[in-house]
Amino acid sequence: MTKTVHVLNGPNLNLLGSREPETYGTQTLADIEAQLAAICEAHGAALIFRQSNHEGELVTWIQEAGKAREPIIINAGAYSHTSIALIDAIKGTNAKVIEVHLSNIHARESFRHHSFISGAARGIIMGFGALGYELALTAILSEMAKSES
């Protein structure tokens, strides 16, 4: 059975590389996807990598992965701070989630300090830029390997 990892990205992450590079870095979302795809391939895992500016689409993807019992790395962007629907989808399907933020949300504006997703996440990685995705993927692949042995 192929191991599948879902990486879900929220609003405005399609602008990575050009949007506030001093905060979010210069790597594009395509760069991040390529790095994660190479890591997954080396570990015999499949990668489903998606981005949407629409909350409902993210909810559907969380539900799909959660029902399939496949792990999720999520950078919900601004929806982290506003979306009850995303947390309900995570809890409703018992989705296994690692939350990623490119920047340290606690070092930014106060409205970014709270994330609804954090309360249901297996772990949270923030402040390491695009490396945060790789750290989350490493954690997931490590847990998958342990469960196979």
Could you read off the pLDDT of 49-81 as tens digits, one per residue?
999 999 999 999 999 999 999 999 999 999 999
Query: What is the pLDDT confidence band of residue 1, given thresholds at 50, 70 and 90?
Result: very low
pLDDT: is 43 or 27 the higher one? Answer: 43
Burial of 18 (0-12, 13-18, 19+ CB in 10 A): exposed
Q: Structural domain boundaries of the chain?
A: 3-148
Fold of 3-148: Rossmann fold (3.40.50)
Strands 97-101 and 45-51 come out as unpaired
Answer yes or no: 101 catalytic.
yes
Q: Is the pLDDT of residue 46 over 80?
A: yes
> Of residues 43, 54, 79, 101, which has the active-site annotation?
101
> Of residues 6, 24, 79, 133, which has the active-site annotation?
24
Query: pLDDT tens digit string along 6-22?
Result: 999 999 999 888 776 67
Q: Which two tokens stand for residue 74?
A: 């999520």
Going 18 to 19 to 23 to 24, the CA torsion angle's sign is negative
> Considering the chain, what percentage of its residues have pLDDT values greater than 90?
75
Q: What is the mean pLDDT of residues 115-123?
A: 93
